[in-house]
Structure 1
Amino acid sequence: MTAETKRNSLARKAPGKLRSARWFAPDDLRSFGHRSRAMQMGYAPEDWAGKPVVAIVNTWSDAQPCHAHFKSRVEDVKRGVFQAGGFPMELPALSLSESFVKPTTMLYRNMLAMETEELLRSHPVDAAVLMGGCDKTTPGLVMGALSAGLPMIFLPAGPMLRGNYRGQALGSGSDAWKYWDERRAGNLSAAEWQGVEGGIARSYGHCMTMGTASTMTAIAEALGLTLSGASSIPAADANHIRMASAVGRRAVEMAWEDLTPDRVLDARAVRNAVTVAMATGCSTNAVIHLIAMARRAGVPLGLDDLDAASRVTPVIANIRPSGSTYLMEDFYYAGGLRALMARLGDRLDLSAVTVSGRTLGEELEGAEVYDEDVIRSLENPIYQEGSLAVLRGNLAPDGCVIKPSACAPHLRQHEGRALVFDSYPGMKAAVEDESLDVTADDVLVLRNAGPRGGPGMPEWGMLPIPKKLVKEGVRDMLRISDARMSGTSYGACVLHVAPEACVGGPLALLRTGDRIRVDVPARTIDMLVEPEELARRRAAWTPPAETVGRGWNWLFARHIEQADQGCDFDFLKSGFGASAGEPDIF
């Protein structure tokens, strides 16, 4: 029996057993209301009767450049749903534009997760297509859909085309930081800066470096939640349109097969996703989102699991910011994620099931690498260990994260004097002051920027190099914070210090002038302060005044978990179709 025949032989639901039939099929007053209101929109019973209803959760908005094509791409998904004999129902959701939302989209990731869960639970749908890609939309959609427990498939937005300035390829984010330092140093004119500004983002789609967006869509594919190869297709490529329709068709089949996420996202899938993340040179943000998604599925992933995988997984995707030259468009032409996963071979569990109904091994058959410099061999990686390292010590007893592959090698083992800032505005003003007492050997520290302190843990962790040092040619130095940083960032940045300073983590006790020692190979981070002195500082410490305000911020501050726990809410328990179950409203 072939894999395709095996898939088609899966038990299929009878039409009367479809979840949507509870809304539309009975001969009663409530169902009369449902049918009549559908007819109010111009639909007829032939549109929905005996057919799976597929929710299309669309994160398009006018303030979301990464998803600008979703306004039309949703029609491609609908076409696929119709082709397969289903009935599509578009449900708009929070767009979470990384470019425009302040103070940070991370403050609202859990809002999107809750919205997605409740959209699917409360509407007459049998399966879902999740349309996302910009950083927090992937984990937010997946977390919510996992908890809803309905058959679901993820449609990645796809990376934008490579940027260009004066014939040089530009990478979103990564080159912005690089050229901004040149601008601050006086090496770039206003006209040249404007040229970079106009050339760095040339099409719709998310960042085309291996930032958080590309990392998370790759993780979604490695988890088995996308069609094979879907995460690598550039947003502007016609293949993306065809993929969108194929996703719509597959969603209908998943509804008939009742291929729920508990049959896809298990411990095997999570291990695969962790390995793939490390091999791609993933964003540091992957740590938080992977932990949160895994725990929604009941898989107890922790920081130590990620560090263990990093120790044995080389970075083989030569993509900025870990790589020096290539971007996601090059990665796609080189074979994309299918080729990278095929190259990882038995480091992956190929028995894991994907949303296609086939195993990962079956999906990777025939995958090839077309450019050996873009997708390296395991014997010729760009970095011998994986993308991330988890450090622990008296400064971060619950752990913190660094991306060794993207920082200057001499800073992987470093001791220096701490220069501590209690707020982002204070830090930002200080680093522009050319009289600041700072050297390249010092350690810049920003605190009170974690999950509660930010609030929402903003991407402030790539602290700017002080202007006086930039003018001297310094382009990297050790920086530590309880914040995050953009996945497109680079440099010796220690992030996600847990517990955060705002809740009394040891970072709150650090003072300017203290010495800090970081040893990435040994996985340690310590402030060289005697325990007795730390105890005196602890006794004198008082928490910052609470400024959480009202509404969502109030809820967030009281229920957000720390970075090492995935920053989910403490009341959102794990488990597919989490305990609320189906609404008893019929």
Structure 2
Amino acid sequence: MPDNKPTLRSAQWFGTADKNGFMYRSWMKNQGIADHQFNGKPIIGICNTWSELTPCNAHFRTIAEHVKRGVIEAGGFPVEFPVFSNGESNLRPTAMLTRNLASMDVEEAIRGNPIDGVVLLTGCDKTTPALLMGAASCDVPAIVVTGGPMLNGKHKGRDIGAGTIVWQMHESYKAGQISLDEFLSAEAGMSRSAGTCNTMGTASTMACMAEALGTSLPHNAAIPAVDSRRYVLAHMSGMRAVQMVREDLRLSKILTKGAFENAIRVNAAIGGSTNAVIHLKAIAGRIGVELELDDWTRIGRGTPTLVDLQPSGRFLMEEFYYAGGLPAVLRRLGENNLIPNPDALTVNGQTLWQNVQNSPIYGDDEVIRAIDNPLVADGGICVLRGNLAPLGAVLKPSAATPALMTHRGRAVVFEDFDMYKARINDPDLDVDASSILVMKNCGPKGYPGMAEVGNMGLPAKLLAQGVTDMVRISDARMSGTAYGTVVLHVAPEAAAGGPLAVVREGDYIELDCASGRLHLDIPDSELQARLADWQAPSQSLLVGGYRQLYIDHVMQADQGCDFDFLVGCRGSEVPRHSH
């Protein structure tokens, strides 16, 4: 019988009896590797974002060991390698600034090394899209293993959500409702185990997106970081990576347009982060799939939010996993014909629907609600357009106040984040509950990296009056753990000369989520005159180096904030080197 096994990439390094093969094998042998390990075994790279500066990923050494066990059991040979670890918790000004850098690190590490397939160890927000972007650019067999969410936070005998509790208690402190001591007392109990944020923040959202796209095994998104089943999943993923190489199951066979449509629908059902809009666009661009903002309207709108999780709802990721996790959500969607492409292929070789059609759902429809009793009837990301956002903006309905989703208000304008911080708690600030807070120059170029500052905290004097939400508009992003009626990702951004740049204090702005409209209520002639007079702000922050590369090449939010020269799949071929 003919041998239909694919030719291994690693054979270009280790499979020859010439001078090059001698040297590649010999150098590897200084680690105690035996001859037979090079004899046609698939070499599986373990792409590790472990770092003690990325607390969400600080337990990845242990996870990597379990992946290695699975690779070895399946007849492969594991090789672990580090890549840039961009954790949102410590990295300034924002991990988004280095998402593309990390993706470049991943891409070049995979392409330039003797790797047949790769296990992507992801966790904190940007590591998941960065590693998928880099692997997609190479189009090799790849499987995602996330680190899992941390256990529920605890404070005063109740569960608290990582990230979300910070926003909630800080607003209470500013309003004079709690003391500084009480605010700080929650600190020790918020993050009490290894893992990512336990709310449906960006880390949990992107873990769900990876699973919905079919790039991870079922249940990968929700198993708590310290649950032994996380290690079992890592082991099984290592085994599966070897099998994927033998089947030549590359990312391009999984990351199809249908897979991205499934992910958009799932994001609505879980009340996922607005950051998924940017990250999915960037991943799609790397594999060559056309994904547009309008796809979020076409696929996402009208989808009920079923997962009752903070910041949109009540529970946390522990309860989500115990209720059945993402497979339970997918089953509930599929039984109601709400999975756009149930036959989409996944990394285990089965279709998405085959994986989930018999998944158990626990908890009496509390955490994962029934279709006829959703948390929000229409939880799809609201894409807004108009003269204020010609290329689009987004709003997360499940985290917004319904009464504010149709609103007309007077703009209170902050030219940048520093002005916001200086003015927001000024007792003389001319603002009331109907005002719209507008912040400029916080987009991809203007605040390099598009920091998570869009969920502007409300003025202290309004908080003291009992105001809990206001419409806020910016070209920034916000943390997936945040909440409120917040319009984000306004494109083009102010620093690129978008209409947001010329909004003035006192202008009236109209928001209408139902019709997807964001309108600056001034005559078009006035808008054009202001734009003609606009001058780009000077770069006051550090320039040069990577930051300069970022400013010069980053695309706008509607294009996923990738670098213009990184879009497209470049494959895994590399010129052979002769020593």
Q: State the TM-score, normalized to the length of structure 2.
A: 0.97
392, 397, 401: which one pairs with 1:404?
A: 397
Residue matched to 1:336: 325
Residue matched to 2:424: 431
Classify the secondary structure of the residue corresponding to 2:295: helix
Residue matched to 2:388: 395
Residue matched to 1:462: 455
Determine the C-alpha separation between the residues in 2 that align with 1:448 and 1:185: 28
* 1:504 aligns to 2:504 (yes or no): no
Residue matched to 2:344: 352
Determine the C-alpha separation between the residues in 1 that align with 2:2 and 2:497: 54
Deviation at 1:387, TM superposition (A): 3.6
12, 34, 43: which one pairs with 1:44?
A: 34
Report 1:162-241 matches (<5 A): 162-241=152-231
Aligned partners of 2:110 and 2:135 also within 8 Å: yes
Between 1:451-460 and 1:382-391, the stretch displaced more is: 382-391
Deviation at 1:500, TM superposition (A): 0.3
Report 1:543-554 matches (<5 A): 543-547=536-540, 549-554=543-548
Residue matched to 1:362: 354
Residue matched to 2:5: 13
Deviation at 1:584, TM superposition (A): 3.1
Determine the C-alpha separation between the residues in 2 that align with 1:185 and 1:381: 32
Deviation at 1:559, TM superposition (A): 0.9
Count residues in correspondence. 573
The CA deviation string for residues 56-108 of structure 1, in whole angstroms up to 9 with x for no partner, is 00001011111111021111111111111111111101111110001111111
Deviation at 1:219, TM superposition (A): 0.6
Residue matched to 1:451: 444
Report 1:516-535 matches (<5 A): 516-535=509-528
Determine the C-alpha separation between the residues in 1 that align with 2:366 and 2:351: 28
Residue matched to 2:257: 267
**Structure 1 segments (4+ residues) deviating >6 Å:** none
Residue matched to 1:540: 533
Instruction: Give aligned-pair identity as a percent.
Output: 47
The CA deviation string for residues 414-444 of structure 1, in whole angstroms up to 9 with x for no partner, is 1111011111111012112222221111111
Residue matched to 2:574: 582
Between 1:98-107 and 1:536-545, the stretch displaced more is: 536-545
Determine the C-alpha separation between the residues in 2 that align with 1:568 and 1:12: 37
* 1:148 aligns to 2:142 (yes or no): no
Residue matched to 1:378: 371
Q: Which residue identity does 1:463 align to in structure 2?
A: M
Aligned partners of 2:296 and 2:380 also within 8 Å: no
62, 66, 77: which one pairs with 1:76?
A: 66
* 1:110 aligns to 2:100 (yes or no): yes
Determine the C-alpha separation between the residues in 1 that align with 2:469 and 2:267: 24
Determine the C-alpha separation between the residues in 2 that align with 1:535 and 1:223: 42
Aligned partners of 1:12 and 1:256 also within 8 Å: no
Deviation at 1:580, TM superposition (A): 7.2
* 1:248 aligns to 2:238 (yes or no): yes
Determine the C-alpha separation between the residues in 2 that align with 1:361 and 1:411: 37
Determine the C-alpha separation between the residues in 2 that align with 1:367 and 1:219: 18
Determine the C-alpha separation between the residues in 2 that align with 1:581 and 1:26: 17
Determine the C-alpha separation between the residues in 1 that align with 2:21 and 2:83: 26
Aligned partners of 2:15 and 2:38 also within 8 Å: no
Report 1:61-72 matches (<5 A): 61-72=51-62
Deviation at 1:190, TM superposition (A): 2.8
Specify whether residues 466 and 10 from structure 1 end up closer, same or farther in structure 2 by C-alpha distance, changes over 3 A only.
Answer: farther
Aligned partners of 2:297 and 2:380 also within 8 Å: no
Which sections of structure 2, spanning at least 5 residues, go unmatched? none
Deviation at 1:351, TM superposition (A): 1.1
Deviation at 1:365, TM superposition (A): 3.4
Q: Which residue identity does 1:585 align to in structure 2?
A: H
Classify the secondary structure of the residue corresponding to 2:80: strand
Determine the C-alpha separation between the residues in 2 that align with 1:574 and 1:343: 34
Classify the secondary structure of the residue corresponding to 1:495: strand
Residue matched to 1:6: none
Determine the C-alpha separation between the residues in 2 that align with 1:317 and 1:299: 28
Classify the secondary structure of the residue corresponding to 2:46: strand
Residue matched to 2:563: 569
Classify the secondary structure of the residue corresponding to 1:459: coil
Aligned partners of 1:210 and 1:283 also within 8 Å: yes
Deviation at 1:174, TM superposition (A): 1.2
550, 560, 578: which one pairs with 1:556?
A: 550
The CA deviation string for residues 203-256 of structure 1, in whole angstroms up to 9 with x for no partner, is 111111111111111010011100111111111100001111111111111111
Aligned partners of 1:280 and 1:387 also within 8 Å: no
465, 484, 491: which one pairs with 1:472?
A: 465
Deviation at 1:10, TM superposition (A): 13
Classify the secondary structure of the residue corresponding to 1:230: coil
Deviation at 1:32, TM superposition (A): 1.1
Determine the C-alpha separation between the residues in 2 that align with 1:441 and 1:294: 39
Determine the C-alpha separation between the residues in 1 that align with 2:110 and 2:174: 48
Determine the C-alpha separation between the residues in 1 that align with 2:298 and 2:248: 35
Q: Which residue identity does 1:327 align to in structure 2?
A: L
The CA deviation string for residues 316-357 of structure 1, in whole angstroms up to 9 with x for no partner, is 11111111x111110100010001001101322221111101
Determine the C-alpha separation between the residues in 2 that align with 1:584 and 1:482: 45
Residue matched to 2:148: 158
The CA deviation string for residues 255-291 of structure 1, in whole angstroms up to 9 with x for no partner, is 1111111111111211111111111101010110111
Q: Which residue identity does 2:26 align to in structure 1?
A: S
Aligned partners of 1:400 and 1:496 also within 8 Å: yes
Determine the C-alpha separation between the residues in 1 that align with 2:17 and 2:481: 55
Aligned partners of 1:10 and 1:257 also within 8 Å: no
Determine the C-alpha separation between the residues in 2 that align with 1:476 and 1:218: 28
Residue matched to 1:136: 126
Deviation at 1:295, TM superposition (A): 2.0
Q: Which residue identity does 1:118 align to in structure 2?
A: E
Aligned partners of 1:309 and 1:386 also within 8 Å: no
Classify the secondary structure of the residue corresponding to 1:37: helix
Residue matched to 1:415: 408
Residue matched to 2:481: 488
Q: Which residue identity does 1:351 align to in structure 2?
A: D
